[in-house]
Amino acid sequence: MTWQTRTRTLDLAQRGLIMGVVNVTSDSFSDGGQFAGVKSAVAQARQLVAEGAAIIDIGGESTRPGAQPVPETEELQRVLPVIERLAGDARFILSIDTMKPAVARAAIEAGVEIVNDVTGLRDPAMRAVVRETGAGAIAMHMQGSPRDMQRAPHYDDVVAEIRDFFRQTFSACLACGIDPMRLAFDPGIGFGKTVEHNFALLRSLDAMKVEGRPLVLGVSRKSFLGKIAGSDALADRAWPTVALTSYGRTRGANVFRVHEARPNLEALRMTEAILDQEAAA
């Protein structure tokens, strides 16, 4: 399995990758304001890479439950200076976490390799950006919008419905001329899902792959981890995240979007070593 970004080919056949999160926002659920300045955001990106992250996902608009939209100009003002400071460094594969086609295009022009779209490439204009720039893309599933997604999420069969969404998205991307090797998919844990929906998806990750394309898993610091741990403290969600990185790898996930790189990478590599031994036995 390979994943083609704008200028690179990522080999995911044997080893998964860590995607480190850098939220250049004031209201993200886990670190709002912590990296809102250019200097702190750049320092965090470099720290994540030093700890083993292969991809840095930069976002300028919070997608936490209840979040309000950010104007396009403001989102650009937040992310572009960070991208410009990091672009050109061979250690960095940069991703832009945005649902706005104009922000995605400007970010790619500044040096981004991947578009991470929480609205799942539904917008034809976003698909056009991916096609025209040759960027890699992550299509994430979300029921509703960040503002209302957790009010009353409902599915008749959450796994089947998201699998069908992935297949439809894949077909729409191919129909508009996007190279399928540039696509990856994310089931959107916590985006319009209950705790029960999240666990059903985690159990069935391997069943949701489309045409052998990579699966991205983003569970880091999500609120359902706190519910399981019986704690509201964000710090108490760190090790449950590590556990799900390991579990997700056994279920076929390939890219892990996290806030702490090193412990998740160590868990990922240990799990892969076990899987390698099982395959060789």
By annotation, the residues acting in catalysis are 222, 257
List b or e across 125-155, with b for residues whose CB sees 16 or more CB atoms inside 10 angstroms. Answer: ebbebbbebebbbbbbbbbeebeebbeebeb
Rounded to 5°, the CA angle 148-151-156 comes to: 105
* One-character DSSP codes across 129-165: HHHHHT-EEEEE--SS-TTTTTSS---SSHHHHHHHH
Q: Return all residues near 33 (Cβ < 8 A) that are at least 6 apart.
A: 25, 26, 27
Nearest to 69 by CA among 145, 151, 144: 145
CA 170 from centre of chain: 17
